[in-house]
Homo-oligomer: A and B are copies of this chain.
Amino acid sequence: MKIGILGGLTPQATIEYYKLIINKYQTEIDSSAFPEMVIESVDVSKVHHLTTGKKDQQLIQYLSESMNDLMQAGADVILIASNTPHLFYEEITRNVSVPVISILDATSDEVIKSNKNRIGLLGTIPTMQSNLYRKPFINTEIQIFVPEITEQDFLQEKIFKQFSRGIFIKEDIMAVENMIQQLNSKYKINGLILGCTELPIFLKQDDWKDIELFDTTSIHVDSLIRFLKKKP
């Protein structure tokens, strides 16, 4: 089984996926082997440009070509290593003939299993403002809460200009932590979706006693490992 990763979204997160997949593969499947992978690393600046310019069709085209390249390279199962592109999950995967494990499905399953029902959500603006993480919880008791607009703008900028380049300064980390405190005092959240694959790099469960953190990267990789275990 060759694992395909649609990555570069951002490179920093792709490296986390790569290390985590190898680590969990060796822990849970075969300690003496390294999983075969193909990683397609796209230009996240172009993705950002198309996203903010609302050029959805061009973005879908760009990401669909990358999915196709992964198939051409022999990927047997694919992960899109970022939350935001899952907005176009259906369009991007329409012509893909191998399973594409959705970060949304994996994460929402974990949230439902956890019995937490007041869930904060951090991520890019499209992730926070769209129904990306609301749709999976329709017909459940689970409510999703996001920061104020000005805080969303701040987070978006930090994700693209700093975190995505591996720059994590103390001031920014404290601002994000403050955002979580605000969500908690306003909405009494008992769970928090780290809906951007950069956030788990500096937000750790140990620092949050009463809020369960849902690390989407780790949940996504766990879902891949379960998939691989089921295969012969």
Residue-wise interface mask of A (31-60) relative to B, using a CB-CB cutoff of 8 A (1 in contact, 0 not): 011111111111111100000000000000
Least CB distance from A151 to B in Å reads: 26
In angstroms, Cα B45 to Cα A33, docked, is 6
* Among B11, B38, B70, contact of A41 (Cβ-Cβ < 8 Å): B38
In angstroms, Cα B62 to Cα A74, docked, is 13
Which residues of chain B are near A45, meaning CB under 8 Å? 32-34
Size category of the A interface is 20 to 34
Task: Name the residue in A18, A40, A41, A70 with the highest tally of chain B Cβ atoms < 10 Å from its Cβ.
Answer: A41
Known: A11-B22, A69-B73, A73-B73. A41 touches B33 (CB 8 A): no
Known: A15-B18, A18-B15, A73-B73. A41 touches B46 (CB 8 A): no
Which residues of chain B are near A34, meaning CB under 8 Å? 8, 11, 41-45
In angstroms, Cα B38 to Cα A70, docked, is 9
Task: Name the residue in A38, A43, A70 with the highest tally of chain B Cβ atoms < 10 Å from its Cβ.
Answer: A38
Which residues of chain B are near A33, meaning CB under 8 Å? 43, 45-46
8 A Cβ contacts from A8-38 to B: 8, 11, 14-15, 18-19, 22, 32-38
A150 on the B face (CB < 8 A)? no
In angstroms, Cα B37 to Cα A151, docked, is 33
Known: A33-B45, A43-B33, A45-B33. A69 touches B38 (CB 8 A): yes
* Among B36, B43, B46, B69, contact of A74 (Cβ-Cβ < 8 Å): B69
Q: Which residue of B lies closest to A30 (CB)?
A: B45
Which residues of chain B are near A22, meaning CB under 8 Å? 11
A72 on the B face (CB < 8 A)? yes
Least CB distance from A64 to B in Å reads: 13
Q: Which residue of B lies closest to A37 (CB)?
A: B41
In angstroms, Cα B137 to Cα A78, docked, is 45
Which residues of chain B are near A42, meaning CB under 8 Å? 34, 36
Closest 3 CB pairs of A and B: A73-B73, A72-B72, A37-B41
11 inter-chain pairs at a CB distance below 8 angstroms, sorted by A residue, are A8-B36, A8-B37, A11-B22, A15-B15, A15-B19, A33-B46, A38-B38, A38-B40, A39-B41, A69-B72, A72-B72
